[in-house]
Structure 1
Amino acid sequence: MAEFVVGPRLYSCWNCRNHVSLHDDIISKAFQGKNGRAFLFSHAMNVVLGTKEDRNLLTGLHTVADIYCGDCRDILGWKYERAYEASQKYKEGKFILEKCKIVKENW
């Protein structure tokens, strides 16, 4: 019997299918984006960072940079650059990808 090999489970840009993150990099699915549910990832790939700016989010003031698909340049979410409250420091360097902006691949 032949062995079936499955590649890594990925998330891709909803618009152009550019791979942007691995399922194994999800930290939490309990986040809120601009357009609804969002996932917190430890890493993102094939994305472009926008300009850093301070933003008041649900959990307080953060310095964030929007992230865009590296291929089609559609906005996918943001990267936490700095958290000003001690309880939010774990987000620094992490990525928010909005659920409506990504699709599953290899599932």
Structure 2
Amino acid sequence: MEFLVDMVTSVPEGTTDDEVAAMRAREATRTAELVAQGNLLRLWRPPLAPGEWRTWGLFDADDADQLEFLLASMPLRAWRQDTVTPLSPHPSDPGRPAR
């Protein structure tokens, strides 16, 4: 099952640039692992307001419980608010295999 996840990150006040850089490095490592496992399919950067830190991700998971497990494994989750939208196939999807 595919899920679109709107991920909005808010860095806590008082966090140093070094702490932010370390968190981003851990997040990049975990993101690469999720890609290699086939759970993270795509990432997009939507239009951002000044200072906004936001990403849209397309995830593949067995169900909502597995997705939550995957999202919770990402280091930035500590600073992030996620909004999950479950997706279902559209009959006119040009990427959908023909029957």
Specify the TM-score bucket, using the shorter chain as the normaliser.
Answer: under 0.3
Compute the TM-score of the two structures, normalised by the length of structure 2.
0.28
Compute the TM-score of the two structures, normalised by the length of structure 1.
0.26
* Larger RCO, structures 1/2 (Cα 8 Å, 6+ apart): 2
Q: Which has the larger share of strand?
A: 1
Q: Which has the larger share of helix?
A: 2
